[in-house]
Amino acid sequence: MNEAISRKVYLNDYKPFGWEVEQVSLTFRLSPRGTRVLSRIAFRPREGGRFFLHGEGLRLISAAIDGRTVTPEVTDEGLTCEVPDRPFLWEAEVEIAPEDNTALEGLYMSNGMFCTQCEAEGFRRITFYPDRPDVMAPFRVRIESDLPVLLSNGDPVASGKGWAEWHDPWPKPAYLFALVAGDLRAVRDSFTTRSGREIDLAVWVREGDEDRCGWALESLKASMAWDEREYGREYDLSVFNIVAVDDFNAGAMENKGLNIFNSALVLASPETATDRDFERIEAVIAHEYFHNWTGNRVTCRDWFQLCLKEGLTVYRDQQFTGDMRSAPVKRIEDAAMIRSRQFREDNGPLAHPVRPEEFIEINNFYTITVYEKGAEVVGMLHRLVGQNAWRAACDLYFERHDGQAVTIEDWLAAFRDTTGRNLTQFMRWYSQAGTPRLSVAEDWDGQTLTLTLRQHTPPTPGQQEKAPQLIPVALGLLHPSGPEILRTQIVEMTEPEEVVRYDVGALCKAAGLKTERPVVSALRNFSAPVMLEHDQSPKERAFLLRHDTDPVNRWEAGRALSRAALTAMATGGDADPQAWLEGLEAALTDETLDPAMQSLLLSLPSEDDLAQSLADAGEAPDPLAIRHAVEAMQDHMAETLEPVLTRAFEATAGTGPFRPDAAGAGRRSLHNACLTLLTRRDEGTRARETFARADNMTASLGALNALLSVGAGKDELAAFEARWQHDRLVMDKWFALQVMRASPEQATEVAERLTQHPQFAWKTPNRFRSVIGTLAGNAAGFHHPSGAAYDFFADWLLKLDPVNPQTAARMSTAFETWRRYGPERQARLRATLERIAASPGLSRDTGEMVARMLG
Ligand code: ARG
Ligand code: ZN
């Protein structure tokens, strides 16, 4: 890595910009190879200092101050210039080449369309500007181009043949700037706000995609109504535009009034999108819309505060999905994601606080820790203060900071001032990295149950010492005959060790039950993002799986049982899946249970989760042994549960016309889960029939998945390709599924063969991820002892890196778990990382990642 470009930025070095930007006017003369950008920026001095504007890859044509030509000093990172000590007008003209922009940051092209991605620091690739979130200004934009559709932020002002003008009255940081120009089609709708303003809504897509926009529009209207109802937040412009773009590094972007989406997260029809896709689209549309208040009207002072907008907005989209669908199911899915993917990050070399304090490349910190753990922290705060104070504090936050760029301290101050609570210890959730271990020890004397709670957080890179966290531990007690004798109560743990006592005799008496040792249900609803260490017997877990009133812990009890059985099987130990299978059978025949919940109970921990569990227990995981264990368990489940699975499969078949609602999705999810298991016993008969009859993507993909997972499905795969070859989004699924379901021996070969496919467009991030990224998701294939996958994966990362560093760096996290494996794999993984690190010209993005992973 080049020293000059690997400079670290520190939270503690924050200094405000010396000038205020009062107004920005931009004119774009669009052309693929030579776009001219003219800027007129009104600056007003505050503290002054050295006048520096960011700028990267710009050809400066001219610059002037108050109409007089100036000659600034230009470097790789920007320019400096002598400026007067009074308000002045800066004017500059630069030239850029959107067509050559493969990094997909700044202004670039996708299928003949111009589009932008400026978060976090992409605006500096468009023109010279103080490209930092605490500089907020109203923008006027004029676009000149022959393309028919010309869009930017805010409200449309005027347009004519070959030009259009936009005005965004709300002061915003440059990272929220957006521009789109292309031959696009609009699908329109409208929304009337609660104060009676009518908003024009539009989704802009390529010709031919118009019939796939309905769901995004429905989701948008639902989000707008929800934010008014739940947070009193109304939309603030006359139009809201969404654009679908095929080449996009991330999922979507909340640019003011002009959200830009990865087309995979907007376009949906029953024939081409799965239930999962519909649910994700609904959630991401909501997420970006909610940013209008949490992120745009109130933004971040600097990029260290990223979780201020992301953690809060993820929390809000989770609440929304819970309200639109099933709250318990959503909570289980979120808890499962944290426990597998966030804990993986938090327990490895890339661990960082929810609010990091240093970085080299900010794009490397759009992580599951900042987003999802950030959302957990916000959720804890909500539960600690209660709904009324939550709403009051959010109102205060919006009122106090509207139009400002603020910090986590400001956010917490709104809660302190609303509730009078001291949140000093709570603040550690933002500053301390790593997952706290919470152990629960029980002591029973026949009358009183004593619980000793202990917490400790292991060291993480750069943070050796950890202080105790404020951990809200939700607990309940169940009588061994079934009923709950203590409803959920929250223990607010603040010390390394705390003791709680329950007079069980009295609780039993109050419930009219004989005094018996109760079963403890701890960390209900996943009340804090901690690893719970609570020794419970298989019998107690099976009991909780059947009787717990808390859905998350019911699911967790099942998970603990299957995890224990699978890790034992993977290490040649004594596996007793009996309790698990009995519990599962009871759940599958329980007619009061939601099919979505039954489907969740039926799912096994991922192979990566199992590897992590083994590593946590001090064993070097063998991904091949894990794969065999999972397959053996699936065979076992299919065999013992065949009659119940068959019944559930049949009961969930043919549910009428496809509707992407939670109830239908739950039934189809259970149907597919049963099909996958039954396919292990019927030679694929049911899956083939299902595939042949399928009239929606959830069903066809479910059937294809079931076939591929038993090594069948060749004809179906070919039929699928023949039918969908012209559909890029469906083809992404076709590519990914083959890599995901390839045997450990063949995975690299399959991926390699797919990279030769005429449709393997490796510069398009979705396609790259569907093949190369998916290989890392096939744990047994990726970690095959031949090491072929490591080499193949690294070669592709190195090929992508100069073209698109952001996506390459993100995918390098496939290697973050390298230290958990045995000596041979570790040696190979280290050598692979070292090879990447030593590669000449490595980007700052990937350079930072591999350096952190090597530690
Ligand atoms: N703010 C966007 C969102 O959360 C994500 C932007 C991703 N940008 C990046 N540089 N990784 O919806
Ligand atoms: Zn976001």
CATH assignment of the domain containing 417: 1.10.390.10
Q: Which of 738, 673, 739, 684 is nearest to 712 (CA)?
A: 684
What's this model's pTM, rounded to 2 decimal places?
A: 0.98
Chain mean pLDDT for the chain: 97
Question: Residue 5 has what pLDDT?
Answer: 55
Question: Residue 656 has what pLDDT?
Answer: 81
For residues 490 and 449, membership in a common domain is answered with: yes
User: How large is the average pLDDT for residues 33-39?
Assistant: 99
Best substitution site from 117, 118, 119 to test ligand 1's pocket, by max atoms within 8 Å of Cβ? 119
Q: What kind and span of H or E run contains 400?
A: helix 387-401
- Band of pLDDT at residue 757, cut at 50, 70 and 90: very high
Q: How far apart are CA 81 and CA 73, in angstroms?
A: 6
Per-residue pLDDT tens over the stretch 102-152: 999 999 999 999 999 999 999 999 999 999 999 999 999 999 999 999 999
For residues 475 and 355, membership in a common domain is answered with: no
Domain annotation covers residue 594: no
What is the number of other CB atoms lying within 10 angstroms of the CB of residue 265?
A: 22
Q: How far apart are CA 600 and CA 330, in angstroms?
A: 11
User: Is the Cβ–Cβ distance between 49 and 79 less than 8 Å?
Assistant: no
Work out which ligand 1 atom sits closest to the CA atom of 363: 10
128 DSSP assignment: -
Q: Which of 626, 639, 624 is nearest to 568 (CA)?
A: 626
CA 789 to ligand 2 center in whole angstroms: 32
Nearest CA, atom 3, ligand 1 = 253
For residues 261 and 303, membership in a common domain is answered with: no
Q: Where are the alpha helices (DSSP H) in 424-465?
A: 428-431
Which range of residues forms the domain containing residue 116? 19-268
Q: How far apart are CA 129 and CA 136, in angstroms?
A: 11
Question: Residue 3 has what pLDDT?
Answer: 47
Q: State the catalytic residue, choosing from 288, 484, 540, 716.
A: 288
Which tokens hold the place of 812? 């390098």
- Residue 451 CA from chain centroid, whole number: 35
User: How large is the average pLDDT for residues 187-195?
Assistant: 98
Please enumerate in sequence order all residues whose Cβ is within 8 A of that of 511, keeping only pairs 6 or more positions apart, or say none: 479, 483, 485
CATH number where 763 lies: 1.25.50.10
Last residue of a domain, one of 414, 431, 448: 431
Domain annotation covers residue 559: no
- Band of pLDDT at residue 747, cut at 50, 70 and 90: very high
Q: How far apart are CA 166 and CA 154, in angstroms?
A: 6
Domain annotation covers residue 319: yes
Q: How far apart are CA 153 and CA 178, in angstroms?
A: 6
Q: How many residues does the chain have?
A: 855
For residues 454 and 408, membership in a common domain is answered with: no
Per-residue pLDDT tens over the stretch 628-658: 999 999 999 999 999 999 999 999 997 688 9
Tokens 């698109």 locate to 804
Is 506's pLDDT higher than 80?
yes
Q: Please name which ligand lies nearest the alpha carbon of 178.
A: 1
What is the number of other CB atoms lying within 10 angstroms of the CB of residue 284?
A: 21
CATH number where 118 lies: 2.60.40.1730
Cα radius of gyration (the chain): 28
Work out which ligand 1 atom sits closest to the CA atom of 122: 10
Q: How far apart are CA 342 and CA 692, in angstroms?
A: 39
Domain annotation covers residue 826: yes
Q: Which of 736, 674, 663, 729 is nearest to 702 (CA)?
A: 674
Q: How far apart are CA 598 and CA 487, in angstroms?
A: 24
Q: Which residues pair with 45 in a beta bridge?
A: 19
Nearest CA, atom 5, ligand 1 = 253
For residues 387 and 454, membership in a common domain is answered with: no
Domain annotation covers residue 755: yes
Domain count for the chain:
4
Work out which ligand 1 atom sits closest to the CA atom of 287: 12
Q: Which of 560, 672, 625 is nearest to 821 (CA)?
A: 625
CA 307 to ligand 2 center in whole angstroms: 9
Residue 120: cis peptide before it, omega within 30 degrees of 0:
yes
Hey, is 738 helix, strand or coil?
A: helix
**DSSP-assigned states of every residue in 219-238:** HHHHHHHHHHHHH-----SS
Question: Residue 19 has what pLDDT?
Answer: 98
Please enumerate in sequence order all residues whose Cβ is within 8 A of that of 129, keeping only pairs 6 or more positions apart, or say none: 24, 39, 41, 53, 54, 55, 123, 135, 174
End-to-end CA distance of the chain: 15
- Band of pLDDT at residue 6, cut at 50, 70 and 90: confident
For residues 399 and 482, membership in a common domain is answered with: no
Nearest CA, atom 8, ligand 1 = 119
Q: How far apart are CA 818 and CA 615, in angstroms?
A: 11
Please enumerate in sequence order all residues whose Cβ is within 8 A of that of 232, keeping only pairs 6 or more positions apart, or say none: 395
Q: How far apart are CA 474 and CA 482, in angstroms?
A: 19
For residues 89 and 118, membership in a common domain is answered with: yes
User: Rounded to whole angstroms, what are the CA distances from 722 to 464, 708, 768?
Assistant: 56, 17, 21
For residues 153 and 249, membership in a common domain is answered with: yes
Domain annotation covers residue 628: no
What is the number of other CB atoms lying within 10 angstroms of the CB of residue 513?
A: 16
Hey, is 140 helix, strand or coil?
A: strand
For residues 74 and 204, membership in a common domain is answered with: yes
Region of residue 83 (phi > 0: left; psi between -120 and 50: alpha; otherwise: beta): beta
CA 432 to ligand 1 center in whole angstroms: 23
Q: Which of 768, 792, 9, 652 is nearest to 275 (CA)?
A: 652
Work out which ligand 1 atom sits closest to the CA atom of 366: 11
Three-state secondary structure of 402-433 = CCCEECHHHHHHHHHHHHCCCCCCCCHHHHCC
Q: Where are the alpha helices (DSSP H) in 617-743?
A: 623-640, 642-651, 662-678, 685-693, 697-708, 714-724, 728-741
CATH number where 484 lies: 2.60.40.1840
Work out which ligand 1 atom sits closest to the CA atom of 295: 1
User: How large is the average pLDDT for residues 432-447?
Assistant: 98
Q: How far apart are CA 597 and CA 694, in angstroms?
A: 24
Q: Please name which ligand lies nearest the alpha carbon of 252.
A: 1
Instruction: Please report, rounded to a whole number, the percentage of residues in the chain having pLDDT higher than 90.
Output: 98
For residues 209 and 326, membership in a common domain is answered with: no
119 DSSP assignment: T
CA 282 to ligand 2 center in whole angstroms: 14
Last residue of a domain, one of 407, 431, 455: 431
Residue 288 among the catalytic residues: yes
Q: How far apart are CA 770 and CA 731, in angstroms?
A: 9
Domain annotation covers residue 828: yes
Question: Residue 537 has what pLDDT?
Answer: 96
CA 254 to ligand 1 center in whole angstroms: 8
Q: Please name which ligand lies nearest the alpha carbon of 285.
A: 1
User: How large is the average pLDDT for residues 724-749?
Assistant: 98
Q: How far apart are CA 638 and CA 675, in angstroms?
A: 10
**CA quadruple 661, 584, 526, 816: dihedral sign:** negative
CA 845 to ligand 2 center in whole angstroms: 20
- Band of pLDDT at residue 576, cut at 50, 70 and 90: confident
**CA angle in degrees (0–180, nearest 5) for 563-566-571:** 125
What's the CA dihedral at 610, 614, 617, 620 to 10 degrees? Answer: -160
User: Is the Cβ–Cβ distance between 530 and 432 less than 8 Å?
Assistant: no
Residues with CB under 6 A from ligand 1: 119-120, 250, 252-254, 287-288, 310, 363, 366
Domain annotation covers residue 264: yes
Is 4's pLDDT higher than 50?
no
Residue 283: cis peptide before it, omega within 30 degrees of 0:
no
Last residue of a domain, one of 503, 531, 559: 531
Q: Which of 118, 120, 115, 145 is nearest to 263 (CA)?
A: 115
For residues 122 and 223, membership in a common domain is answered with: yes
Complex-level ipTM beyond the 0.85 threshold: yes
User: How large is the average pLDDT for residues 26-34?
Assistant: 99
Tell me which amino acid residue 496 is: P
For residues 45 and 185, membership in a common domain is answered with: yes
